[in-house]
């Protein structure tokens, strides 16, 4: 059985489409996904359908080459913090951005129960404004 850290790394370190597929396979049925205030998809979404619709589908259709590159992982018990950098170009404006992020994951019974995003939303917002 894979460790929480191995499971989580597999959701960051491949092709974007593969990462989302792997993520869906490790989300708890009632997983909560919180996007930070100031981020374009801010809010808390519960369950894989809501998470895909309100976050990943929009990332895939509204951005060019959107990436979340993990640079460091810190694990403590059933929680893992991931630190990294987002990058991409917003289609509607043609503006690129790079923004630091932190994601805090909580696991239960081998599945992701909760993710909370912390992000330099100012850098993202600059890409959204024409």
d(CA 123, CA 125) in angstroms, rounded, equals 6
- Dihedral angle of Cα 97, 119, 125, 24, to the nearest 10 degrees: 80
Nearest to 34 by CA among 106, 108, 111: 106
- Dump pLDDT digits (tens) for 49-87: 999 999 999 999 999 999 999 999 999 999 999 999 999
Q: What is the mean pLDDT of residues 93-103?
A: 98
- Dump pLDDT digits (tens) for 23-54: 999 999 999 999 999 999 999 999 999 999 99
Helix extents (H) in 1-130: 4-9, 16-26, 48-51, 57-62, 121-128
The DSSP bridge partners found for residue 27 are 112
């Amino acid at each position: 059985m894979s460790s929480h850290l191995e499971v989580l790394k597999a959701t960051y370190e491949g092709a974007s489409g593969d990462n989302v597929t792997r993520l869906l396979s490790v989300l708890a049925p009632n997983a909560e996904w919180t996007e930070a205030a100031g981020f374009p998809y801010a809010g808390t979404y519960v369950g894989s359908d809501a998470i895909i619709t309100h976050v990943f589908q929009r990332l895939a259709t509204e951005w060019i080459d959107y990436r979340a590159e993990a640079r460091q992982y810190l694990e403590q018990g059933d929680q893992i913090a991931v630190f990294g950098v987002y990058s991409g170009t917003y289609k509607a404006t043609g503006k690129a951005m790079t923004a630091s992020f932190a994601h805090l994951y909580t696991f239960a019974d081998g599945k992701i129960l909760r993710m909370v995003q912390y992000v330099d939303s100012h850098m993202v917002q600059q890409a959204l404004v024409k």
